Every structure is written in C-alpha cells, then in structure tokens.
Amino acid sequence: MDRDYLGRVILGLLALRGIDFLRKRLLSKEEEKASTNVHEAKVDYASQLQVDEAKVDYASQLQVHEAKMDYASQLPDDVLSSILSRMTIKDAVKTSILSTRWRYLFASMPTLRFSLDMFGIKYLGPICAPYDQKKFLEVVNQFLQLYLGHKVVELEINMFIERHFFSRKFAQLMHSISKLDVERLHLNFTCEKTPTSQDIDLPHDAFFEFSLELLSQASSLKSLFLSVCIVRPSVGLRLNSLKTLSLTGVLLETGQLEDILFSCLNLNQLVIKYCKLPHKLCISGTVTSVIFADCGGLEEIDLQATKLSGFECFFDEKVRFYFSSVPVLERIKISLRGDASMPYIFGEFPMSLPAQVKSLIVTACYTQVTHFPTETQIFRDLRMLALLLESTYDFDIVKVFPILDACPVLQYLDILQHKTYRQNERGSHTKPPLSPTVHTELKEVRFGGFHGTKEETELAIYILRSATVLDQMFLSQYSINPYFKAYYGHDIWEERERERISIQQQLFEQAISSNAVVIVQ
C-alpha cells in the first residue's frame, strides 16, 4: 500500500475536529525543562556539573525506554496485535511513533470500534451535526481501506446518519466492510454507545433505513447487531453464514421479521430488545434460541421454529403464545407485566405448553404477585420451576404453594424474592398451617432472599413435609445465580446466629425424607 496514502489516513483520523496527536511534542515537560537547562547552563563548574548529571540521568532513562521498546518489538505479531486490541483505535494509532516495527502494526488489529467521541466530536443526545456525519463516514471508510485482505474479528461503528443526505456515503462504507473478513458486525445508528428503551420514541424520520442487501457480499459474517434503525429485508437475499442476529431499538412492521428470518438460512440465535413490534409475529426458520426483551406492541406470537430449544420473553403487556411447531423446545423464561399475567401464565398458558418443555422460569413484580391464582392448571411434565419475585412488598410467600401442587413431577424448585421494603410478618398466625401433600419427585429446593419470617418458614416446612425424596433445601439471604440480586447489602444473620441455628434445626426436624439436608445461610 502507498505509504503516502497511509499517512493521509492516519492524519485524517487523528486531526478530525482538532485532534492532531502528531503535532504534539514527544518530550515531556520535564524533558523540555532539562533540555532548556542544558543550553542555558552557566559555564561555572557547579552549573556544568548539574548539566552533566541531568544528561546522564536523561540518557539512562532513554536507554531503559529503548530497551523496553526493543524487547516489546521482538514479540510476535499476534502478541502485539493482542496488545493493541485492548486499546482504543486512537491510542493504537499513537503507537505508530514508537519504532519502525510499530509504525503500521495498528493496521492489523482484530477488533475495531469507531464512535464520534474518539474524534473529539461533541454531540447532544442521539444525533449530531451533518458536517460531523460526513467527516466521520469519510475517515472511517479511509481507515478500513488499510484492512483490505486482513481478518477483522469484530467491527463496531456508533454513528448517527441522516438517510436523506448520506445514504450513498454509507453504502460506500458498507462496500468496504463487505471486502473485509468481518465475523461480528455492530452497527449502532445513534451517537450514544448504549441504546436504551427511549431511543424507540424518536421520530420516524430519525431512524436510518438499513437494507440487508448491503450485506450480500459479507460471506464471512457470523453475528450481526443492529441498533436504532429500520431494517429493510431484501427479496432473494440469502445470508448463509449468519448465526446470530440482534435487533435493538428497531422498528419492525408486519411481515418484516418473517422476511428477515427467511433470508437467514442458518440462524441460531435471535435477540430482539427495545423494539416496536406489530400486533402478530411468527417465528420460524432454524433458530435454536429466541429472546424478546422490553418490546412493545405485540399481542400474539406463534412459534413455528422446529429447532427452537430455548425461548425467553419480557413484555410490558399480556401476550398470547401459540406453540404450533416446536418439537424440541425445553426451556422457557417468561415475564409479562400487568395484573392479568399471573392468571394467564398459570391458567391458560400451561394448557398450550408442549409436553417436552421441562424448564420454566417465571418473573413477577409487585403488582403481579398479589394476583397469584388460588387454582392453577397442571404442568404435567415440568421438571424445573423458578419463581423470581421482584420488588415484593408485604407479600405472603405462602400463597405460592398451589403452584407447587400443580407440578406433580417437579424435581428442582427455585424461589427468589427481592423485597425492596421490609416485609410485615402477618397473616400466617391467623390461619391454620398448610396441610402437606405428596411430592414424590422433588429433589432440590433453593430459596433466595430468605430472612426467616414466619411466612417463609411456613412455606419451607410445607415443602419439607411434602417432598418424600428431597436431598437438599438451601435457604439463603443471597441471590441464587444466575438470577437477579436479592441481597440487601448487610449480613442479616450477623446478630441472629442463634436464631439461624434454631430455624435450621427446626426445619431439619420437619423433613420426611431421610436424605434431606437443610442449610440456612
């Protein structure tokens, strides 16, 4: 490559909006002062001696620095590239002045991340000035020319682009990207590096229209992450190499997601977060894992992915699920906001659940836990159940016991409550204790956020008296990984050690399983 061209690219990268690292002096302030002292030193013996000592000290430091750089320069290219990959692009370019060996080494970095702030561009909110958009696209495009023929493991670009003015320049940038062996591509069409749920409320005209046709030549692309844009499918396009697709803050109209999935013949993971969705969706294709998080607009979703094994969803409103064709689906994590969600999840939902689903995780917040149903439909084949109760306040945990009775073959039970306020101990002493039933499969129970209240102890006793083959009951004030944190920041048993031992002994005596071990922590 023409080194004059390379120099222009480096200069453009560093000089954009006032950043001109190459014009900075290489000597520190202390070195400049020492150099000035050398030239202005007096001829007298004492001053000359100080100058000589300064020269010797500077020479020693320079030798040490050169020795370190000489040692670093002898490292293999892959090691040096690994070092550079842990730097920002701006800092990596600065290493080109260290020595001849480092001059063009930054052009082999396997990970590239571009954003406006690395050029010193100041912006307010998710948008920026047209001049900055234009210069950003030009410089990044020039920089990527250095990588033609090189392998880029990950490329991340954070930018705001007005589609009416810079679509052509962006297409040129995508053409350069398609010539690279990029495996993971992040395109975030907002100036902010981390998109949030508020980005979806931007005016429709503020969203850049990204066409999948721009990726038609990206034969090595395995993971694609698109944020804050409108995705336009392409008829006849086939992205055979793509394994992971993540959409954040994306506007999806009716039929668009289905068309996108049709183009991705070997897609494994689909993640949709902070997106505006149509009323109905159909998930099909080759996906094995699907995650929806904090999306709005959806009312019905039909799962027709024959290879789907794991499904997670977090919706603000009640969504109706149809499991049309999911023969290998085994794991479901569900969180539906709204008071009607609990009666649906433990009422109509299990009636449509495929028999092969073995694991269910249900998240409920404060407004929902008070709507736990007293009667539930039977989960006939469920082996693992986790109840994650977020921000509970004055909730009688004993009320979850009907759910346990609805899972006759349950083997593993996780209960995790996160009480944002102190829970009042009331109710359990005014009603008779629960009559134990028989659970012949339950082997392990983990109870996170356990504080030893009467209600919590009553539920634990009910389980111990019901589980005939229980091996372990673990009750902890801490969270149960990998779920949310349930610890309050202090050790609740620190001044209650005697009480902890008493509770542990009391519970152990209630176990009908001879193998049961009870741990209170």
Lowest mean pLDDT, pick from 9-13, 469-473, 499-503 = 9-13
DSSP character string of 108-144: G-SEEEE-GGGGT---STT---HHHHHHHHHHHHHHH
What does DSSP assign to residue 233? P
Any domain includes 483: yes
Any domain includes 289: no
Lowest mean pLDDT, pick from 159-168, 247-256, 379-388 = 159-168
Domain count, the chain: 1
Residue-level pLDDT at 93: 58
pLDDT digits (tens, 9 = 90+) for 112-138: 888 877 766 666 566 677 778 888 888
Any domain includes 481: yes
CB atoms within 10 A of CB 219: 11
Average pLDDT, the chain: 78
Band (183; pLDDT cuts 50, 70, 90): very high
Token pair 């495009």 in the structure block, residue: 141
- pTM score, two decimals? 0.77
Residue-level pLDDT at 38: 42
Any domain includes 217: no
**Mean pLDDT over residues 88-100, rounded?**
60
d(CA 55, CA 48): 11
Domain membership of residue 491 as a residue range: 352-421+433-520
Any domain includes 356: yes
pLDDT digits (tens, 9 = 90+) for 191-228: 776 777 777 777 777 788 999 999 998 889 999 999 99
pLDDT score of 17 more than 90: no
Alpha helices in 183-250 (DSSP H): none
How many CA atoms are closer than 13 Å to the CA of 138, on its beta-carbon side?
Answer: 11
Highest mean pLDDT among 92-96, 223-227, 491-495: 223-227
Residue-level pLDDT at 513: 95
pLDDT score of 18 more than 50: no
Lowest mean pLDDT, pick from 131-140, 290-299, 363-372, 403-412 = 363-372
pLDDT score of 153 more than 90: no
Q: Work out the percent of the chain whose per-residue pLDDT is above 90.
A: 35
Residue-level pLDDT at 488: 53
Any domain includes 347: no
Which of 319, 324, 311, 320 is CA-nearest to residue 357? 311
Any domain includes 164: no
Any domain includes 93: no
pLDDT digits (tens, 9 = 90+) for 311-327: 999 988 888 999 999 99
Band (91; pLDDT cuts 50, 70, 90): low
